[in-house]
Every structure is written in structure tokens, then in C-alpha cells.
A and B are shown apart, each in its own frame.
Chain A
Amino acid sequence: MKKDIILAGVGGQGILSIATVIGVAAVNLGLHLKQAEVHGMSQRGGDVQSHLRLSDKEVMSDLIPFGKADMIISVEPMESLRYLPYLSKEGWIIANSKPFINFSNYPPIENVINEIKAQHHNVVLDADKIARESGSLRSANMVILGAASPFLDIAFENLEESIRFIFGKKGEDIVNVNLKALNAGRDFAVDVVK
């Protein structure tokens, strides 16, 4: 088993909590893991990415080679496209359709979405809307993770377990909101892929 995942977004959007949920699940399954994060300057509203690598063998490089990523998971539409050179020809792109606009010349959103849909394997969803419907806008991350879950090679129950573990300290309500968001995201993706 080998999964190389690029997580993408804008500084402050919290892509790292997606990485943590997958990471905890992977460690519980006894997989090897490396996860390179971006700290520092670019966290000030700049583009951020994380390379998450899971494998049943030892992982060597902290960075995913170009053209080898199995998946791009992005909480922002345009940011998902920034990492296309990393994506393998058979890779999946899972992206939020809701743009994060913190500069003046953001390209027309329809064009951005069309570019994502032009990629061979893609799931595009309005995670913000789905998250709001599941109880909290803040769990848009978990909606995106849910939408990525059918392609992760990690059993859904393991992801749920990892959410319970991570958010457990914050109380039952927070756990349930996140689980609901995760499920809603998965349901969306399963429908699309059908």
C-alpha cells in the first residue's frame, strides 16, 4: 500500500487537521508515515501545502516526487490546481468549490472549476455549504476529507475512530458535527463516482 497525498489551501484554513485525522488512522493501522508541512512566512494568508505520505514500506523522501501523487485534497479551488505537476496521470483531485479570495485578481470562478473538471479524476463540492447543513461551517475540512475517503485505501471506520480520538477532548457535540460532515462528504463523492 502506498498513498501520496498533497493537501492544499490558504494559510489559516486548517489543512493540517485533515492531515492529522488521516495520520492518526494510518499510525493505528501500523503504516509508515511522513508529513511535510509549511510553517512560517507563507502562513500569513499565502498558499500552503502539506505532503502526506503513507506506505507499508519505509518512506524515504519527505517530499512527494512530481508526477507521483495519488491525490490532491484541497480546501480551496484555485489552490488545487497549483499542485497539478505533482499529480500522477491516474490521480484524483478532490476540491472545495468555494473560493477563498484574499487578493484582487482572483480568476473567474467558473474557469477555475472548469479547469478542475478537465482533470481526469475529480470530485468538486461546495464543502462550506455541506458543512453548514451538517451543523458547522468550521467542519468544511471534514467534508472534504469525507469526499476523499473512498480513494484513500483506509477503511471509513478508521477515519471515524480517528475523529473520535482527536476531537474527543472537545466534547461529544464537536465529535458528532465532524462525523456528520465526514459522512456527508463521503456520500457526495460516492454519488459522483457512481
Chain B
Amino acid sequence: MQKLVLLGDEAIAQAAIDAGISGIYAYPGTPSTEITEYVQHSKEAKQKGIRSNWSSNEKTAYESALGMSYTGKRTMVCMKHVGLNVAADAFVNSAITGANGGMIVVAADDPSMHSSQNEQDSRILSKFAFIPVLEPVNQQEVYDMVHYGFDISEKYKIPVMLRITTRLAHSRAGVQRKDSREQNEISLPKNLTQFVLLPAIARKQYKVLLEKQVPLEAESETSGFNKYFEGENKKLGIIASGIGYNYLMENYVDSKCSHPVLKISQYPLPHKLIQKIAKECDELLILEEGFPLIEEMLKGYLNVGLKIQGRLSGEVPRDGELNPNIVARSLGLTDTIGNPIPSLVTPRPPSLCAGCPHIDSYLDLNAVLAEYTPGRVFADIGCYTLGALPPYNSVNSCVDMGASITMAKGASDAGLRPAVAVIGDSTFTHSGITGLLDCVNDKTPVTIFILDNATTGMTGGQTSAAMGRLEDIVKGLGVEEEHINILNPMRRYHEENMKVIQDELNYEGVSVIIPRRECIQTIGKHKKEAKAKEEAK
């Protein structure tokens, strides 16, 4: 079969297409976005009729995938780690309903927070939900594990998590394809109450879930993804999970590792393999790309027994991603480093693009708020979060998607006037709508800016769910028409915009202001596409 050079994300997508999915569901989020984009751009996927449009958020994506699994067809749902928090209710309960058609949930974690607000480890949530996890170490294993994941999902009737981290998601390497499989026909669950989590049924189903753990652990012992490598130096045994294994082996490209090594890529943890390394070795070193999950499990609360080194004991840093040098130091091997960075090198943080519509929105807002004491603008997640940095210093919060409107509401309820929320169009449809309904129901005095740049800018310009319909949605929720304002965020309308903003800040009720101008990046892209179309004619 054909060999391709693919990003980890792309390898997931290609494998899902080849393994016969009928649909993929996702909301964009770094480092998971490229999975769904690959399917969206794949001619093969189009020919096979695989659905792949963006969902409004991770919860709607997850539930849609579960519905497809219900019908017996294979499906994948993808999200960044914090997206799994949004989908958590569906995720945890889907373990109890179980799956019908094969279902894989991809959780893309971001240790070191390259593009995220935290570095949570999705393996913890999967343990909480009793969902098996596959944690590949390279692009080929990514590809192979997607095929295997659908197999065990269908065999044990349970959703399977594929957990990747940034460096694998965004790194390219060669991948050998397998033969492609047909999609499943519709075949509803044999037991039509399987998905009905009424307490009486849920209690039974929960026991079924607990019983599944036994064969799932047996899979972890024998599938071959968890692998034991013998070594003669038994003073120390090394357990390396996920891409921690790569960083370990990078230190032994020119020599052989003398220690026994257990590579962990599948959960629930393989008891027998772990027992073997623990029995054979005097001490253990645990290398994990993420939280010290295995370390904590092996150590227990009292930490009696075998000496276990890792993130908790300090041999490995407590937070952040691993790299080959960190692993070398934890093993007492010689560390390497080049020359230091000269002091003249200045940080170059990300910034709003020149000509970005958000810049004008913030200049308008700053000018009006200059009269008040600072600290009253609750923002959200997107390009516009960069308004927290100089030279704008416009916003005072960024917590989770949708939190701008609801935090402004809470602050307003407490008496803060004016209280302002700033949210992007895509974030609004992701999680802002319900919060706005709360404000309307309470007639809360808040001024809500929905920054409509006609795209999901931060993650690379994906279609935004509300495209041109924001004012209808807002009106439908009950915001009074005279307090729905559409502005053109341009320097020449600065005075005009300031006046509208000032009037709405004075209003003791819900106001919505929609500054509307397209993102500079997508304008460029759309122009290019139009030109290409023109030329193709």
C-alpha cells in the first residue's frame, strides 16, 4: 500500500477514512484541528460520502457521533483537551450506554500550553469514565491504532479514546496505509434500552461497563502496543508512556538501553506487565508526557514499597512537556546544550494582525471606558484575547469558552456598573447563547460585544456557525431590538461607534453590540479562492 508523509493529525484522519467511518464530528481547537480539516479536504472522503462539517461545540459533536454509533456506523469525534470538559457529560455517560458502531474520541492534549489555557491530561478523564485509551508514540502507530481502536470499540461496544499530544499531532513522518474497509450498514442496537439511562437501566449498564474492564485489560496485555524490552541492568526499570518513550529512546540511538523498559501505549494499564517490571527491578523511573498518572497509581498514597522516581519525586519536572534532555538528566546521562541565547534577542509574542477588526473594536471600547475605573471587561477565548496585552490592555478575563457573558452577568448581579462582555462570533455560538438567555431572563444590565469577524480566527479561519445570523439569534433569545446594534469597526466610524457604546453602557438592561468586519486573513484567503475559481473557468 501507499506510503504518505503525514502529520500525526493527518494520519488519524487518513486512518479513519480507511477504517470506514461514515462521519467525523468536531469543533476546532489546537492541536486537533487538522484532523477534521484533512477529512474536509479529502477527495476520497467526499467520494465515500463521509460527513465532516464543523459542529457548534464539542458536546454537540460528541453527541452527534454517539448517535451515529447508535445506528451501527463507525464514527470519530475530535477535540482539544479542554473540549473534553465541554463534552464531559456526554463522554462519561457514553461509557455507560456503550457504543454500537465503532466510536473513537480523539483528545489532543497540549502539555506546556503552547496554545491553551491549561495542560490537563485526558487520560485522567478517561480513567474517571472507564473508557479505554490508546496513546500512540509515532505517526505509524497513530494510523494502526485507529484501525485497532475501531475493532475493540465494536468488539466491546465501548467508545475508545485516542490520546495524542501537541508534538505528535503537529509532527510529520512516513505512514504506510492499510487496505480500506467498507462503511457499516445501519444496524440498530439489539437491545433498544441500551442507551436509555434511567436509573434502573443505568445501574445494570454500569455493571456491564465495570465487567468490560477485565477483557479490556487483557487487550492491553496482549495487543502488542504495550511492550516489554528486556535489559540486564535491573537496578532501574523504566516505564515510558506515549511520546515519553521516544524521548527515552532518543538517548539510545547509538547504544542499547541496558535497563528493562516497559512502553505503555494502551490503558487500562496492563497489570501483569507492570508487575513484571516492578518485580524484576530495584527501582522504577516513570516518564509520562502529561500528569503523573501511572506514577501516582504505582506509588499509592503511602509510598511504601518500591522506590518510584518521576514527576512527583522530582527526578522529572512536575509540569510541562518532556524532551530528550529532560529524560537524559533524569537518567543521569550527559546533558548537551549549545551556546546561550544572546541577551539582545527579544521575545516576539503573538499579536493581532495589522488591520484586524478587533483592533478597532478595542480602540472604540477603550475610548469610552477611559472615563471609568479599569477592570470591568470580561473576555473570552479567540484572537481577541490578545486584547489583554499591550498596547490595548482592554480585557480582564479569559477563563473558558462562553465565560465572558456569564461572568459579566455575575459581576453585574453583584452591582458592578457598567459590566461588559467581549466574545467572538464562534465562541458565542459555542457556549455564549445560553448565558445570554440567562441575562435576558434576569434583565441583567450588561453590554455584550459579539465580535463578528465572520470566522473562527484563532484556529485558522474555519466556518463560524452563525454566519450573518447573529442578530436573529440574539433577537430570538429576547434581546430588545432597539438594544441590538451593528457597528462597523473602522477608524472613520470611531466617534459614531463611541456614541452607540456610551448609550448602551448607560442602559439598565441587556444590550448587544455586534462590530462586524471580516478577518483580514480570511479576506485574503477568500480573494485567492475567488481568483483561482476565475482562472479555472
Contacts and interface: CB of A to CB of B under 8 A. Distances in A.
Interface stretch (B267-275, B299-307, B345-353, B409-417): B345-353
A164 to B, nearest CB: 18
Given A33-B172, A36-B170, A65-B250, A44 B338 contact: no
Nearest to A100: B348
Interface string B300-332: 000000000000000000000001110010000
Nearest to A33: B173
A174 interface: no
Interface stretch (A85-93, A127-135, A143-151, A177-185): A85-93
A89 B338 contact: yes
Contacts of B249: 60-61
Interface string A158-182: 0000000000000000000000000
B237 interface: no
A48 B408 CA distance: 35
A32 B247 contact: no
A17 interface: no
Contacts of B339: 84-85, 87, 119
A58 to B, nearest CB: 8
Contacts of B353: 44-45
B459 A40 contact: yes
A91 B247 CA distance: 22
A23 B4 CA distance: 12
B93 interface: no
A35 B10 CA distance: 13
Interface of A: 10-11, 23, 27, 32-47, 51, 57, 59-63, 65-69, 78-79, 81-82, 84-89, 91, 102-103, 105-107, 111-112, 115, 119
Given A40-B458, A61-B324, 12 more contacts: A35-B171, A39-B115, A40-B31, A43-B350, A44-B383, A46-B351, A66-B338, A67-B338, A84-B338, A85-B339, A103-B348, A119-B339
27 contacts: A10-B348, A11-B350, A23-B172, A35-B173, A36-B170, A37-B170, A37-B172, A39-B31, A39-B34, A39-B115, A46-B350, A46-B351, A47-B347, A61-B243, A61-B246, A61-B249, A61-B324, A62-B168, A65-B323, A65-B324, A66-B325, A78-B344, A85-B338, A85-B341, A87-B338, A88-B336, A107-B345
